[in-house]
Structure 1
Amino acid sequence: MKAKKEITIYDIAKKLKYSPSTISRALNDHTSISKKTIRAIKKTAKEMGYHPNSLAASLRNNRSKTLGIMISRINRPFISSLISGIEEHARKSGYNVIISQSNDKYENEVVNAQTLYNSRISGLIVSLSMETRKVDHLKQFMDQGIPIVFVDRVPDELNIHKVIIDNYAAGYKATQHLIEQGCSRIAHFAGAQHRNVYRERKKGYIDALKDYNIPVDNDLIIRFKSLSFEEGEKATRKLLDLPGPPDGIFSANDTTAVSAILHAKKRGVKIPEELAVIGFNDDPIASIVEPGLSTITHPAIKMGQICAQRILQHAREDQDHAVSEITVLPTELLIRDSSNRKGI
């Protein structure tokens, strides 16, 4: 026998043409909703066979002391440091964490969101997958008043708490450094442009070129799907085969920057004399590769700590989850031998 479909606040909202958040507030007798509207919504909910989500109610009553973390790939140094910062602050405050990774797949992220919603979390910290373009799967948290903080890879369309770095300034700074080292044909390894971090890094790169009167050559801008080592090697091969190859590369991450160095060395290209390279994140591999990779530091642990602080502040004070607070942290240029032509 086929199970009967469970009625949700979305079904009630659709029938009454109210927003899901209005339905949720009315069902919980929120003072912002008129008594007349509350009575009408509750009457319709009863008629439709709606049963309240006791799990969500327990979250609102702070019975759960667990934070959910949704990230792309746990094996990336930036992400592991981010998680470390979150967990450190959460545990000091008596909270545990549940971690889920999407492997940069949107479908995985949707499943992970539902699993975390069903796991009694009292707050959610999210760094979006590379594929994610819409965040409808996270609305159930907001509708139930479960606080969300987005970190690093954040959605543009939501007016909500975010913890980010100044990716534009970082991209500009990295490109400016290569220009000051004498580079005039600078390539850029760009990540998916619907992701805020890679779009802003590319914008900083382009504006730095323009400010120094260097033409923007689209042949030198390589767009990546996942910024993997293999993609970096393939892109470097393509660039070095050009009639006018680049004399500098700014990569949106360290992985592809390292692959560029290794492939260029195989081709007999001198680093940094003939090709200066700078990456992004300061992953451990940046200091192991020879020559050492110049990079932009990414304050991952600090970002994680701030995320946990914001979530716990919301949970304790029962703040409106729609309030927007954007925390922007600075980055630093870390110069190593891969770009250091002038011996700074």
Structure 2
Amino acid sequence: MRNINQMFRNIVVPKYLSDYIMMKKKEVTIYDLAKELNYSPSTISRALNNHTSIGKKTIKKIQKTAEEFNYRPNALAASLRNNTSRTIGITIPKINHPFQASLITGIEKTARKAGYNVIITQSDDKYKNEVDNVKALYDARVGGLIVSLGMETRDTSHFDQYVKQNIPIVFVDRVPENFNSYRVIIDNHAAGYRATKHLIEQGCKRIAHFAGAQHVNVYNLRKKGYVDALIDSGLQVDEELIMDMKTLSFEEGRKATEKLLKLDNPPDGIFSAIDTAAVSAILYAKEKGVKIPEELAIIGFNDDPISRIVEPTLSTVSHPAQKMGEISTKRILEHSTRKLDAAVSEITMLDTEIIIRNSSKRK
């Protein structure tokens, strides 16, 4: 055993192999590659980026060595040098909601075409989560931020750091009232008005409303549209028929429907601020033997896939989520190109339409 140990102590590792072993233990940089190949770091950098000032043979040699040493470009270091980043941060309430998923598709598709990457975070509608997400994306030095506010969010001071650094923010769908920024929205008041009007045109006289948290712009405006449609049609606004909910979840929609159907004078129509609660209303009403739409006409909002699967199919309001994502990304790209002030206030409002299906079609 003593002789074997002596043998290993006498083994001399060649310097190039020793250097390679050390490089494998840490992140390989262009300076390591420059030392290995006896080129300047600037030559290595240009070759890795296929710069035309470097010969093809040299580029091939450098890129092959970089691959052998598992070199990875340091995007963060590049953003620090250039004071810019080709990454867009996203924070939304829930990734698994159809509207949010379509929104992300629009963002990612447009960003990819422009050579940008995206980092996606979700707040789960929690204020603290949103604050943490916004800070993490800021620390990652994103070049722009796209936000749909969480249900709990009232204070927007966590976005101030972006404005101070002139990093563009685009609020989409759920937007703050008093924060100068880009905004991509729909006319929620008009959409709520038209959805309620549709039920009135189908003969409904007592229309209930599933309302979301009223500090959130989209739910506040949809409710105002509902109220104004009733008033303009000469119908009573009955507070007993307005169901305030925290999240407009399936469970909340079911409980609200149960409460409404137990009233001495139950509603003959329901306008829900989102499809999920509307679908639960359909299912619960059917369980209780209520005929839809003859006895209870129902319309939702968003045109989620579930609206086409439930029986009867759900009437709803279209919500151009993917287009909103595309426009939001374009705003950030335009801002970066034109070097604008991040405190700019600009609103883009998209159209919606009423999609009439079997849950409300009486005529």
TM-score band, normalised by shorter chain = 0.7 to 0.9
Cα deviation digits, residues 255-290 of structure 1 (max 9, x gap):
000000000000000000000000000000000000
* Matches of 1:216 and 1:232, distance apart in 2: 20
Per the TM alignment, residue 63 of structure 1 is displaced from its structure 2 partner at its CA by 3.6
Shift in CA distance, 264/137, structure 1 to aligned 2, threshold 3 Å: same
Cα deviation digits, residues 80-109 of structure 1 (max 9, x gap):
000000111000000000000000000100
Correspondent of 2:263 among 235, 242, 247: 242
8 Å Cα contact 1:193-1:199 kept in structure 2: yes
| Greater relative CO, 1 or 2 (CA 8 Å, sep 6+) | 1
- Are 1:255 and 2:294 an aligned pair? no
- Identify the residue that residue 223 of structure 1 maps to in structure 2: 244
Per the TM alignment, residue 56 of structure 1 is displaced from its structure 2 partner at its CA by 11
Structure 1: which 5+ runs fail to align? 1-54
- Identify the residue that residue 193 of structure 1 maps to in structure 2: 214
Q: Which amino acid is 1:94 matched to?
A: G
Shift in CA distance, 261/59, structure 1 to aligned 2, threshold 3 Å: farther
Bigger CA radius of gyration: 2
8 Å Cα contact 2:300-2:317 kept in structure 1: yes
* Matches of 1:284 and 1:137, distance apart in 2: 34
* Matches of 2:359 and 2:187, distance apart in 1: 23
Cα deviation digits, residues 217-253 of structure 1 (max 9, x gap):
0000000000100000000000000000000000000
Equivalent runs, 1:51-70 vs 2, <5 Å: 58=79, 61=82, 63-70=84-91
Q: TM-score, length-normalised on structure 2? A: 0.78
SS of 2:333 mapped into structure 1:
helix
Cα deviation digits, residues 168-187 of structure 1 (max 9, x gap):
00000000000000000000
* Matches of 2:253 and 2:147, distance apart in 1: 27
Q: Which amino acid is 1:132 matched to?
A: T
Amino-acid identity (%): 68
SS of 1:64 mapped into structure 2:
coil
Cα deviation digits, residues 17-65 of structure 1 (max 9, x gap):
xxxxxxxxxxxxxxxxxxxxxxxxxxxxxxxxxxxxxx89946945410
- Identify the residue that residue 107 of structure 2 maps to in structure 1: 86
Q: TM-score, length-normalised on structure 1? A: 0.82
SS of 1:79 mapped into structure 2:
helix
8 Å Cα contact 1:56-1:120 kept in structure 2: no
Equivalent runs, 1:309-328 vs 2, <5 Å: 309-328=330-349
SS of 2:200 mapped into structure 1:
helix
- Identify the residue that residue 213 of structure 1 maps to in structure 2: 234
SS of 2:134 mapped into structure 1:
helix
Q: Which amino acid is 1:285 matched to?
A: I
Which stretches of structure 1, 4 residues or more, deviate above 6 A after TM superposition? none
Correspondent of 2:196 among 175, 181, 185: 175
Equivalent runs, 1:23-34 vs 2, <5 Å: none
* Matches of 2:186 and 2:151, distance apart in 1: 17
Correspondent of 1:100 among 110, 113, 121: 121
8 Å Cα contact 1:172-1:204 kept in structure 2: yes
